[in-house]
Structure 1
Amino acid sequence: MAVEVLVVATSSLGDRSYLASDGTVSIVVDPQRDIDRIMCLAGAKGVRITHVVETHLHNDYVSGGLELARLTGARYLVAADDEVEFDRAPAVDGDTVPVSASMRLRVIATPGHTFHHLSYVLDEAGDGGWQPVGVFTGGSLLFGTTGRTDLLGEQHAHELAHQQHASARRLADLLPDGAEVWPTHGFGSFCTASQSDAPESTIGREKRANPVLRLAADEFVTETLAGLDAYPAYYAHMGVANLAGPAPVDLTPVTRADAAELRRRIAAGQWVVDLRHRKAYAASHLAGTVGLGLDGPMSTWLGWLIDWGAPITLLAETAEQVADAQRELVRVGIDRPAAQATGDAEQWAAEPGQLRVLRRADFPALAAARAGNTPEGLPAPDVVLDVRMTNEWRAGHVEGAVHVPLPDLPKRLADVPEGAVWVHCGSGYRATVAASLLANAGREVVVIDDRFGRAGAAGVTMSGNA
């Protein structure tokens, strides 16, 4: 049987893990912490996991590699230069790792995303000997971009960007154009320097499309560093957890909270998170909650916004949705929510006065309101608040808007001018989060639940390149 490489996507974090097998044994690359997905896939394929490999110590999620290796008895390959606090098989540049008669790995040092980053070439045995099928590139060579180089500190970003350039060139020189490229990051992950431009790729395609293989080193470094934006605050805790060796996860149901308990937690200033879609949240929700729907990257934004270790209570329509949220949260090191409640907003309220509505609008409504024709039932916009990231703002924004990136908002609520606030982002998801934070602070708020790309065509006056 030919070697088969299967993708295990974690779209909420913009990452991929991989299961490569020859029909009998398999290799797992960069597994997420909820390893049951990988084990179920291996079981369905009828293959035994013999090797688990890490391309690098991850900054955007807690790894499941150590626990997967423990449960399966697989060899656990981690860079020899990473000073981890657990036993592993140290991997170094130039190593060849036999897996089976038809499959092997070659270890290639590709520093840049981290100092000790490794890539793994997957070779398959054929009539002419070993042939490279592809390369697991982690946070090195991605689809149309590379992994960002500032996660270990701004002071290292320039040096690592130069190393990233050299590493990508090394892979391109080492491998044939037809070799597949299998990155871990690049599908919405904040670990990338820019977003991926394709769902799959080869070395040949990257030679044509990827700036790292088209630009000279100095030009690539300048362009890469200039394009970097903020990354989630919880990243500071991921590397520490991965160095120490993550504990097994506990995805069993958490304690249920009744209406009185929810009121107590909200009164104490705790994070009570409503996981329903933003339209359901807007129609009716418990005052004092934050709307972070499961339809978006909930764990990324929640992990970025909270004070690390703060108790979190989850609200959802069903127990299955709470379970989905727990799974997403353990991936970023938020292991056990404090409590949960399911049902609808009316069941969560101890009294009717606790329920609140979030008013919604779109960009045509904003254009009309700015022209003096505010739609009925909405307050005139005294402030237009843009909560997108800095690079998005620089690319174009609503003229006269106030810019406070969503991650900064909890500590900058006082920076939002007085009056009724109309808040927008790129699609409505982040704007709903921001609107709930503003409403909890006593502000009159309208969420613009619309795509930012429609603003100009709707008649909203724009600044910049929008």
Structure 2
Amino acid sequence: MFIQTFKSEGLSHLSYLIGNNGQAAVIDPRRDCEVYAEAAAVEGCRITHIFETHRNEDLVSGAPILAQLTGATVFHGPNAAADVRYAKTTRENDEFRFGNLQLRVLETPGHTDDSLSFVLYDTEFGDDAVAVFTGDTLFIGDVGRTDFYPERAEEVAGLLYDSLQKLLDLGDQTLIYPAHGAGSVCGDNMADREFSSIGYERRNNPMLKIRSRQEFISRKVQEHHYQPPYFREMERLNLVGSPAASPLLTPAALSPAAFKDLPDQTVTIDVRGISSFLGAHIPDSLALPTPMIPAFAGWFLNPDDKLVLVAASASEAELAARHLARIGFDRVLGYLAPDMPQWAAMAEPFRAITVIDLEEFKKRRASPPENWSLLDVRGKGEVEETPVDQAIHHYTGHLAEEASELDPERHYTILCGSGARAAIAASVLMRRGFRNVDVFLGSVGALMADG
């Protein structure tokens, strides 16, 4: 018997390959799913089953693609908004055997109506559960969000509470394998580790310490989560089944001449680190450093957008394309890896963004320049926890639609937690005609370090 974990960085998505006696199953596969077939082959197993814990909102499921590759059957839970076309429905107490490995289905709604957990047993060594794959119902240090049904807010929060009691009843010895780790948009307070047990979470998970069902409901309905626009497209694709992800190979390398010949509607995404972008970038490009693509691309891009990447290398372009493919953005026309001094020497245009340090920030706050505003682009919870005096707040993801509320003639200094989101925000504003923007590099991190 084996369990192998696969982590998709950026999304903090966790998927699993389990197997025994020549058969294997995959739980919550990602879209670039060749890794599961390769790992199963190493273990001498054939993938025969694919299980989904729920219809994901933040990534494209690889289940229908993996089913085509392997001939495996996909199983999904009941009570989805509509039938998942590529899957069979599995329900409470259904059992699946792989040698002495047994999976039993638990219906655990709350995060979504179709949420399932899969309980693993070793039939040769006792009757107790060995592990449970909890999807987005129970995380390490947190529990699933319940804001996808706002008109039923209290009801679904109560459903999640009931589902968590079912998981707790499995016993303290049961290991927990969730669908996401720290950094995922599916929870706020996850621990920075990918393993735990029911017993440990019972004693240490703040949400599991709440014994009153009504208190739990009250806490959940007061939470605030952001829902990027691309979530709706993910839900659609994960209902009908997505096509195979096409841009998994390195996108085509483009010469400067080929880059300039691209259609006018092409969106240029600079996936280099923020220091490179701030120092010199191609005009009207959107800053989306590769590790931040999963969190923010869905706020600023449309599924039909034609994309071109500005990357430091072929490997960076390939990783960026994988991140984009995992959330449904496939139309990458190629990448440009410019040497910016050489680019400038060719009389090609470029832009730079001024950065300020802590001392300059203090001076501006003490004696604000004329026509100056401080713009905080952190999340609502961060702003409430550590507010910054004099700052106006517009969340990074909302800035594209809320830019009309700002004055392009004003001078904006942008801050976030460290400066990375501020760089993204600066690029969003510059694409909309704002020219007098700069970034407080270090941002709240620098303020906290300074006491």
Q: Same fold (TM over 0.5)?
A: yes
Any residues of structure 2 matched to 1:322-361 within 5 Å, and which?
322-346=317-341, 352=347, 354-361=349-356
Q: 1:181 aligns with which of 165, 176, 183?
A: 176
Aligned-residue offset at 1:227: 1.9
Q: What displacement does 1:195 show?
A: 3.3
**Superposition deviation, residue 343 in structure 1:** 3.4
Supply the distance in 2 between the matched residues of 1:301 and 1:452 (Cα, whole angstroms).
20
Q: For residues 363-442 of structure 1, what are the structure 2 equivalents within 5 Å?
A: 363-372=358-367, 382-417=372-407, 418-440=409-431, 441-442=433-434
- 1:248, distance to aligned residue in structure 2 (A): 1.1
SS where residue 356 of structure 1 aligns? coil
Distance 1:340 1:350, change over 3 A: farther
Q: CA deviation at 1:325?
A: 1.0
Deviation at 1:365, TM superposition (A): 2.7
Identical amino acids, percent of aligned pairs:
31
How far residue 207 of structure 1 moved from its aligned partner, in angstroms, is: 1.0
Aligned partner letter, 1:107: V
Q: What CA distance in whole angstroms lies between the structure 2 residues aligned with 1:445 and 1:269?
A: 25
**Which stretch of the first structure deviates more once superposed, 40-49 or 315-324?**
40-49
Q: CA deviation at 1:368?
A: 2.9
Query: Residues 336, 370 of structure 1: CA spacing in aligned structure 2 closer, same or farther, 3 A cutoff?
Result: same
Partner SS for 1:108: strand
In structure 2, distance between residues paired with 1:249 and 1:350: 38
Distance in 1 separating the partners of 2:44 and 2:341: 47
Which one-letter code corresponds to 2:285 in the other structure?
T
Structure 1 residues 45 and 447, CA gap change in structure 2 (3 angstroms) = farther
2:85–2:240 CA contact under 8 A, matched in 1: yes
Q: Are 1:449 and 2:441 counterparts? A: yes
Question: Are the counterparts in 1 of residues 177 and 194 from structure 2 also a CA contact under 8 Å?
Answer: no
Distance 2:379 2:302 in 1: 20
CA–CA separation in structure 1 for the residues paired with 2:176 and 2:70: 27
Q: With the length of structure 1 as denominator, give the TM-score of the two structures.
A: 0.89
Equivalent residue letter for 1:88: A
Report 1:38-437 matches (<5 A): 38-82=36-80, 83-100=82-99, 102-128=100-126, 130-151=127-148, 153-173=149-169, 175-192=170-187, 194-196=189-191, 198-215=193-210, 216-250=212-246, 251-260=248-257, 262-263=259-260, 268=264, 270-294=266-290, 296-346=291-341, 352=347, 354-372=349-367, 382-417=372-407, 418-437=409-428
Distance of 1:25 and 1:52 partners within structure 2 = 12
**Structure 2: any 5+ residue segments left out of the alignment?**
none
Q: Could you say what secondary structure the match of 1:398 adopts? A: coil
Q: Deviations over 1:233-269 (max 9, x none)?
A: 2111111101101111112444554435545669x46
In structure 2, distance between residues paired with 1:426 and 1:322: 26
Q: When the two structures are aligned, how many residues end up with a matched partner?
A: 446
* Counterparts of 1:352 and 1:363, CA distance in 2: 34
Deviation digits for residues 283-326 of structure 1 (CA, Å, limit 9, x no counterpart):
211111122111x3213201112244222211112122111111
**Does the 8 A contact of 1:56 with 1:116 survive in 2?**
yes
One-letter amino acid of the structure 1 residue matched with residue 231 of structure 2: Y
Distance 1:29 1:411, change over 3 A: same
Cα deviations across residues 76-110 of structure 1 (Å, max 9, x unaligned)? 2112444435343321101111122x101000000
2:184 counterpart SS class: coil
> For the Cα contact (< 8 Å) 2:202–2:208, is it kept in 1?
yes
Structure 2 Cα separation of the partners of residues 9 and 44 of structure 1: 18
2-side partners of 1:313 and 1:56: how far apart?
Answer: 32
Change (3 A) 1:134 1:21: same
**Counterpart residue type for residue 36 of structure 2:** I
Determine the C-alpha separation between the residues in 2 that align with 1:367 and 1:25.
Answer: 63
Does the C-alpha gap of structure 1 residues 51 and 450 become closer, same or farther in structure 2, counting only changes over 3 Å? same
| TM-score, normalising length: structure 2 | 0.92
Cα offset, 1:158, TM superposition: 2.2
CA contact (8 A) 2:64 2:86 kept: no
**RMSD value over aligned CA atoms?**
2.4
Q: Secondary structure at the match of 2:182?
A: coil
SS in 2 for 1:355: coil
Query: Deviation at 1:386?
Result: 0.5
> Matched residues in 1 for 2:332 and 2:346: separation?
25
Q: 1:71 Cα shift?
A: 1.2
